[in-house]
Structure 1
Amino acid sequence: MTGKNSSVTEFILAGLTDHPGLRMPLFFLFLGFYMVTVVGNLGLITLIGLNSHLHTPMYFFLFNLSLIDSCYSSTIIPKMLMSFISKNVISHSGCMTQLFFFCFFVFSESFILSAMAYDRYVAICKPLMYTVTMSPQVYFLLLLGVYVMGFSGGMAHTGNIMNLTFCADNLVNHFMCDILPLLELSCNSSFTNELVVFIVVAFGIGVPIVTIFISYALILSSILHMHSTEGRSKAFSTCSSHIIVVCLFFGSGAFMYLKPPSILPLDQGKVSSLFYTIVVPMLNPLIYSLRNKDVKVALRKTLVRRVFS
């Protein structure tokens, strides 16, 4: 996996800070974030698996969102934690592998959020047709599309970076092998490479955002035509968690990748990256658990069964 003309066989990840006094506090802070992320997402996966009334398309997608978030954070955080306690060296092939899985999970999350928006559109705008429209075959095909797009995005970005040459400098100014710091480090990156990154990211963010926007425009129109206040309230409640997650994920991702590096320096970009790689996967299960009545009921029933069994 080493580039054809590269003299670099390994990279050093700079991490978040050069200040020795901050390293241990940050290590324990992000270790705590990671534990909350893993426990929260695996807990939601287990809860959906154990409760048959949650075996619906909406929770089927939520199950996969939690699975993606668990894998996504595990791709990034363990390696980042090493930079707080030692020199964080990663091989060229290891760096490309991390980059691929990072891109794979980012693209998969983008498209699964758009699939969830479509599911909410069908549930609210066409409730009588819901079981037919969102049949098992349909949501399995949607899920297949999610992972195919994730794989395509990962391959496009990784192939683009693997064609670059890294000559002497091997210090990556980031806590992970991300696209922009690797482009900056390369001694032969060109406008074409940057254009490929922009097009792939614009597609991976743009298509889901357009899908989500259209879905929620139709949902809002349907809600405004409802005569029942209770029906409106229930519809808004059903969508609110998903809207919060969408805004957090796409807002931070677009801020990082759809601005030229001259406008957003990499040191500031690292802070933006923290948000969508660490904070968002940690918050997702909390947002869905705290704002979802079905999840809270399932959690209560599961705990009662465990206590009295």
Structure 2
Amino acid sequence: MERPNGTFPTFFILLPITNIAWLQKFLFVFVFFFYLLNIIGNLTILSLVIKDLNLHSPMYFLLASLSFVDMCISSSTVPKMMVGFWVQNYISLKGCFSQMFFFHVFGCTEGVIIAVMGFDRYIAICHALRYVNIMTKAACIQLVLGSWSVCLSITSMHVVMSSRLPFCNGYIVKHFFCDIKPVIKLACADTHVNEFIVAAVTGIFSTVAFVMLMLSYCFIMKHLVNIRSSEGRSKAFSTCSSHFIIVILYYGTAICIYLGPASENTIEKDRVAAMIFTVITPALNPLIYTLRNKDIRKSLRQLVSRSVAWSVRVRVQ
């Protein structure tokens, strides 16, 4: 299915996760369920944080930012992936690089916001008396906008470098979306510089964010050891446990996908890791916070109660 030498594609074909017909149908239902769970769960958190004045705090502002990014990162890849379960999945060159851009902007921003959330927990636990003065509304907005700005710059560099490559080694992307590594494999030019820059920049950036997270948690653990009250220690630990689970889910899959050369074997493994990264993890994040956070659960119960009361009044009228 490759084009003759010397011709350049005007589109790419994205491959499904599997070519087994019955498994494609099962995966469509599976992916659709998690995508629906993702949208409903994260929209619920956004609504709760916006409407409930008790959730107007830095912690929940960052959580709402994470929920928004989770919806965006899935929406940039999942709808197109679901199309591929039923028909041959064509995507134009502009569409491919647009998808690549948005996926990496949202993925990068999520990593930074998760690191910022770790810093927020460090300030809340280790410097509780100064928390209000440090994590002001202006500071939170600056941190989130800074996250977006840095990720926009890094992603733009990667996408521009990839889009300038000549593509004449076929038009079949061995992935369910346009990611950098499988796309540049189709280039008929030396891509070692591209691969090195992707690995180096992503590696350095991820390492810095991860080290910041680990330092935050090291200081938190040191502080917890000094807390004599078991109740106080338990309360402090509960505020971090949900976030730490998300850290493992995010950085575990991100490391699997982007650290390493773009070989045939790694791309196959990357497809599985990317499935977790784009479908499962964004859907689990709101569940993790909802089930383990008392304030979110309380606000959700109040929202449900108000909705039920409103529906009863409408029926009576």
Q: Normalising by the residue count of structure 2, what TM-score does the alignment of the two structures yield?
A: 0.93
How far is the alpha carbon of 1:153 from its aligned partner? 2.4
How far is the alpha carbon of 1:215 from its aligned partner? 0.7
How far is the alpha carbon of 1:263 from its aligned partner? 8.8
The separation in 2 between residues aligned to 1:168 and 1:266, in whole angstroms, is 17
The separation in 1 between residues aligned to 2:7 and 2:58, in whole angstroms, is 47
The separation in 2 between residues aligned to 1:156 and 1:192, in whole angstroms, is 13
How far is the alpha carbon of 1:207 from its aligned partner? 1.6
The separation in 2 between residues aligned to 1:238 and 1:195, in whole angstroms, is 38
SS at 1:165's partner residue?
Answer: coil
Change (3 A) 1:6 1:64: farther
> What pairs with 1:71-90 in structure 2 (closer than 5 Å)?
71-90=72-91
> What pairs with 1:26-65 in structure 2 (closer than 5 Å)?
26-65=27-66
C-alpha offsets along residues 84-114 of structure 1, whole Å, 9 cap, x if unaligned? 1101000000000000000000110010001
The answer for the alignment partner of 2:225 in structure 1 is 224
The answer for the alignment partner of 1:151 in structure 2 is 152
Q: Kindly provide the amino acid, as one letter, of the partner of residue 208 in structure 1.
A: A
The answer for the alignment partner of 1:122 in structure 2 is 123
Change (3 A) 1:24 1:59: same
The answer for the alignment partner of 2:182 in structure 1 is 181
Q: Kindly provide the amino acid, as one letter, of the partner of residue 147 in structure 2.
A: V
Contact 1:241 1:287 in 2 (8 A): yes
The separation in 2 between residues aligned to 1:87 and 1:18, in whole angstroms, is 11
SS at 1:7's partner residue?
Answer: coil
How far is the alpha carbon of 1:201 from its aligned partner? 1.1
Contact 2:253 2:277 in 1 (8 A): yes
The separation in 1 between residues aligned to 2:158 and 2:186, in whole angstroms, is 16
How far is the alpha carbon of 1:239 from its aligned partner? 0.1
Q: Kindly provide the amino acid, as one letter, of the partner of residue 61 in structure 1.
A: L
C-alpha offsets along residues 48-69 of structure 1, whole Å, 9 cap, x if unaligned? 1111100000000000000000
Q: Kindly provide the amino acid, as one letter, of the partner of residue 184 in structure 2.
A: L
SS at 1:89's partner residue?
Answer: strand
Contact 1:256 1:264 in 2 (8 A): no
The separation in 2 between residues aligned to 1:36 and 1:70, in whole angstroms, is 10
The separation in 1 between residues aligned to 2:48 and 2:178, in whole angstroms, is 33
SS at 1:11's partner residue?
Answer: strand
The answer for the alignment partner of 1:10 in structure 2 is 11
Contact 2:11 2:92 in 1 (8 A): yes
The separation in 2 between residues aligned to 1:168 and 1:232, in whole angstroms, is 58
The separation in 2 between residues aligned to 1:220 and 1:264, in whole angstroms, is 39
Change (3 A) 1:263 1:89: closer
The separation in 2 between residues aligned to 1:235 and 1:189, in whole angstroms, is 51
Q: Kindly provide the amino acid, as one letter, of the partner of residue 11 in structure 2.
A: E
Q: Normalising by the residue count of structure 1, what TM-score does the alignment of the two structures yield?
A: 0.95
Contact 1:73 1:281 in 2 (8 A): yes
Q: Which moved more, 1:54-63 or 1:15-24?
A: 15-24
The separation in 1 between residues aligned to 2:133 and 2:283, in whole angstroms, is 34
How far is the alpha carbon of 1:7 from its aligned partner? 1.3
Structure 1 gap segments, 5+ residues each: none
How far is the alpha carbon of 1:195 from its aligned partner? 0.8
The answer for the alignment partner of 1:139 in structure 2 is 140
Contact 1:123 1:130 in 2 (8 A): yes
Q: Which runs of 4+ in 1 moved over 4 A?
A: none
The answer for the alignment partner of 2:315 in structure 1 is none
- Is 1:279–2:300 an aligned residue pair? no
Structure 2 gap segments, 5+ residues each: 1-5, 311-317
C-alpha offsets along residues 100-155 of structure 1, whole Å, 9 cap, x if unaligned? 00000011001000110111010000000010001111111111111112211221
The answer for the alignment partner of 2:246 in structure 1 is 245
SS at 1:18's partner residue?
Answer: coil
Contact 2:256 2:273 in 1 (8 A): yes
The separation in 1 between residues aligned to 2:264 and 2:244, in whole angstroms, is 28
Q: Kindly provide the amino acid, as one letter, of the partner of residue 44 in structure 1.
A: I
Q: Kindly provide the amino acid, as one letter, of the partner of residue 176 in structure 1.
A: F
How far is the alpha carbon of 1:168 from its aligned partner? 4.5
Q: Which moved more, 1:254-263 or 1:240-249?
A: 254-263
How far is the alpha carbon of 1:261 from its aligned partner? 3.6
The separation in 1 between residues aligned to 2:237 and 2:301, in whole angstroms, is 24
Change (3 A) 1:52 1:6: farther
